[in-house]
Structure 1
Amino acid sequence: MTFTTRERAQGWLSDELRLIEYSEWTPPAERRRRTEQRAITFDEFTREWIDKRLVRGRPLKDRSKEHYLDIHERWFAPFHDLPLTAITTADVERWFHSRPDAPTMRTHAYSLLKAIFRTAVARKLVKESPVNVEGATSRAVPKEINLLTVAQVQELADAMRPQHRLMVLLAAWCSLRFGELTGLRRRDIHLSDDLTEGTITVEQAAVTVAGERLLTTPKSLAGHRTIYLPPHLLEDVRQHLATYTRSDPDALVFPGTDGRPLTPGQVYGHAPRFDKKGNQKHPGNGFYKARHQIGRPDFRFHDLRHFAATMAAISGATTKELMQFAGHSDIQVAMRYQEAVNDRKKDLAKRMAALAVVVEPHTDS
């Protein structure tokens, strides 16, 4: 450290001696670092965190970055201009309890905030995390899903536009996500010459980022997988490829109207519309029309994956096999299907017992 004049050097030395006298001295470099830390706002740190975040050594996917930035801008606004070091537990508690009544989104935002401050603690930017609201991250009870029957799945598929019919069947019997279906290429599907077996390899998925439909890698490492096609779908797959998919190996199996991956809106369409008297004004189209036709207007496209996982569990799949089949990285999700199947087996046993007729042994009078 150098000084331009003797007076400045003596002044600096006097300040350092005063700190020593009051037992407050720390190395000048440490003091500069603390000053810089106090100057970092939550907004600056969070944007850098999102941009450089790694998950299992991999950068965040573009869709995840967009989602986190959206949460930051809409949910974390009260913290934006505050220095990172100034945010207290009381601040976080007030923020959490003042958020809109959207439990799932609020819990998601809280978990993101917790992860951001976990990094701040690891970098020694703050001594401890202020994100500690009791009960904020308790696991929600999974929504009860009223699955379709096998016959209803077939009816739903048949009610779709012909070019989208196979999407329902693959989602229901191969547990493919919407983005995985719309990202499938012809070369990802392999059918044997005698049409006795076939596979689907999931290597990419379609996502929407900043309003644009893009192809990227699957949601997680577990999403990369090869699925054996159930034999009863082989002919449906062959016919679809022959009718709706170009011969180019990179051609999308389910192309959108502009040659790009299908958007949810192009598949979902809209539900039938009725006037105040209950008369139908418009028949609707797409998936929303199809689910209305089978009497299940509450059913979601993603619920077809639940159907697939439940069928696999009923068929005896182990937890590991379920995870591989559905591309799950969370063992708790796979175990949930097995527990549901066990509950159904117990209920079946009780119903069978109710059908039993107790015959009194015959005795001579």
Structure 2
Amino acid sequence: MGRPRAKVKRGFGEVGQLPSGRFRARYTGPDGGRHSAPITFVARIDAEGWLVDQERMISRGEWEPPARQVREVEEAPLLLGEYAATVVARRRIRPGTAALYAKLLRLTILPAFAGQPLGEITAAEISAWYAGMRTTPTQQANAYGLLKSIFKEAVEERLVDVSPCRVKAGTQKERAREIDVLTVDQLNRYLAAVPEARRVPLLLAGWCGLRSGEVRGLRVRDLDLDIGVVHVRQAVVRLKGQLLIGPPKTDAGVRSVSIPPHLLPALREWAARQPVREREALLFPARDGHSPLNDSVLRVAHNKGKAAIDMPGLTVHGLRHTSATLAAQLGATLAELQARIGHSTPNMAMRYQHVAAERDAQLAARMSAFATGRPG
């Protein structure tokens, strides 16, 4: 949906279209105050009709503020399902985000609230709904975040007075387990156990902090071994069962990451053995040589690596955690961590710094134990 239309000048009052597509009517009353219709309208003509009624009451001397006017309003209440569809449709979001929102609406939000008037949904209902998703913490946080943003827009458009989304820390994902982080020795042994054909993409995930989709989206020209940098400009995403190439997960995901220099000789040797391909071709294509690599292919190789270091809970995404935590341990600032791992907010970067601080304390304790001869 496009931008709201400008207010239409009239002899009495004004009608303006809201971002939701509905219309709001307002006028200056005999008391000198500004008054708005108690509801918004689907059609402009209905908003204008309300203003005509108000003007007639003033001319007959029967006027009182709309808040005290007692009359039946035939306008149907705006339902959550209708408004949510409007809000999501007008947002400029990436295809992957649009697919996530559609899934969250279909599975969690609409079954609970689709047929309820927007202004009648209570905080207690939302709290109970939120609590019912406790066994799926990631979905719980994402669904609540989406619903909260929908009500935020409803408040801004004066469709409701206050948002009923008041769950404390509702958008903070409850993590089922701590971040898996490898030591340098574990990372080296992991990579040695990975099949050679898939070693380099997993190496870039572990040492440079790239997401799986970002690694698989790299083009030949994105790996610059002359200056030791990998440029993240696109990513592979799965949408409705298909692998598509699009922008990274966030704007911050577009970045250039320096490769640790000790890896460059091996990477240059690997690059020299690769067939000559166009600069725009995928660096790690599927077997046909041009299609995006399936994430399951990397997982199969990854499983061999994690078995070698006896870390059954390690995920491909866990390699990214390792890179970020190692950078934090070596003194990276929040801004440097955000830039390296491609996060738009410092929240996750702070988590990596916290993990690094804990490990530094453990290291200090072991140093003291060594110095004193006491067990650590």
Q: Which amino acid in the other structure matches residue 352 of structure 1? A: M
Matches within 5 A, 1:66-81: 66-76=99-109, 77-81=111-115
Q: Deviations over 1:39-91 (max 9, x none)?
A: 432222212212222xxxxx211101101110100001121122223322233
The alignment status of 1:218 with 2:248, answered yes or no, reads: yes
Could you tell me how far apart the structure 1 residues matched to 2:312 and 2:349 are?
27
Matched, 1:296 2:311: yes
CA offsets 1:177-222 (integer angstroms, 9 cap, x no match): 1111011000111122xxxx42111111111111111111112221
Q: Where does structure 1 differ by over 6 angstroms across 4 or more consecutive aligned residues?
A: 12-15
2:234 to 204, 220, 226: 204
SS at match of 1:356: helix
Bigger mean CA deviation after superposition, 119-128 or 89-98: 89-98
**Could you say if the C-alpha distance between residues 287 and 78 of structure 1 is closer, same or farther in structure 2, counting changes exceeding 3 Å?**
same
2:191 to 143, 157, 168: 157
Q: Are residues 319 and 142 of structure 1, via their aligned partners in 2, closer, same or farther at CA, if it must alter by over 3 Å?
A: farther
Conserved 8 A contact 1:154-1:169: no
Q: What residue in structure 2 maps to residue 94 of structure 1?
A: 128
The residue type equivalent to 1:147 in the other structure is V
Alignment CA distance shift 1:322-1:82 (3 Å): same
Partner residue in 1 for 2:332: 317
- Structure 1: distance between partners of 2:140 and 2:368: 45
Residue of 168, 190, 204 corresponding to 1:170? 204
Take 1:328 and 1:162, find their aligned partners in 2: how far apart are those partners?
Answer: 30
- Determine the structure 2 residue equivalent to 1:64: 97
Deviation, structure 1 residue 312: 1.3
Deviation at 1:166, TM superposition (A): 0.4
On the 8 A contact 1:208/1:214 being kept in 2, the answer is yes
Task: Please give the alpha-carbon distance, in whole angstroms, between the structure 2 residues aligned to 1:186 and 1:337.
Answer: 30
Residue 13 to residue 149, structure 1, CA distance change in 2 (3 Å): closer
For 1:121 and 1:298, how far apart are their aligned partners in 2? Answer: 43
Q: 1:338 Cα shift? A: 2.2
Residues in 2 aligned to 1:231 and 1:98: alpha-carbon distance in whole angstroms: 49
One-letter code aligned to 2:287: T
Match of 2:259?
229
Cα distance in structure 2, aligned partners of 1:295 and 1:16: 80
1:256 aligns with 2:286: yes
Q: Give the secondary structure class of the aligned counterpart of 1:299.
A: coil
**SS at structure 2 position matched to 1:148:** coil
8 Å contact from structure 1 (residues 186, 241) kept in 2: no
Residue identity over aligned pairs, in percent, reads: 35
Comparing 74-83 with 100-109, greater Cα deviation is found at 100-109
1:1-365 → structure 2 map (5 Å cutoff): 16=57, 21=62, 23=64, 25=66, 38-53=76-91, 59-76=92-109, 77-99=111-133, 101-134=135-168, 136-137=170-171, 140=174, 143-192=177-226, 197-244=227-274, 246-258=276-288, 259-269=290-300, 286-357=301-372
The whole-number CA distance in structure 1 between the counterparts of 2:348 and 2:199 is: 27
Task: Return the alpha-carbon distance in structure 2 between the equivalents of residues 305 and 126 of structure 1.
Answer: 42
Check conservation: 2:180, 2:322, Cα contact below 8 A: no
Rounded to whole Å, the distance in 2 between the matches of 1:142 and 1:327 is 23
SS in 2 for 1:130: coil
Using a 3 Å threshold, how does the CA distance of structure 1 residues 248 and 97 change in structure 2: closer, same or farther? same
1:112-162 Cα distance to aligned partner (Å, 9 max, x none)? 111110011111121211212345345646842342222222222232232
Distance 2:367 2:134 in 1: 47
**1:245/1:251 contact within 8 Å kept:** no
Cα offset, 1:350, TM superposition:
2.1
The number of aligned residues is: 318
3-state DSSP of counterpart to 2:359: helix
Judging changes above 3 Å, is the alpha-carbon distance between structure 1 residues 262 and 41 closer, same or farther for their aligned structure 2 residues?
same
Q: What is the distance in 1 between the residues matched to 2:275 and 2:207?
A: 21
Contact 1:166 1:236 (8 Å CA) reproduced: no
Contact 2:137–2:175 (CA<8 Å) still a contact in 1?
no
SS of the residue 2:244 aligns to: strand
SS in 2 for 1:48: helix
Gaps of 5+ in 2: 1-9, 11-52
In structure 2, the CA distance between the partners of 1:238 and 1:69, relative to structure 1 (3 Å rule), is same
Q: Deviations over 1:250-293 (max 9, x none)?
A: 11111023432112112213xxxxxxxxxxxxxxxx22233223
Number of the residue aligned with 1:363: none
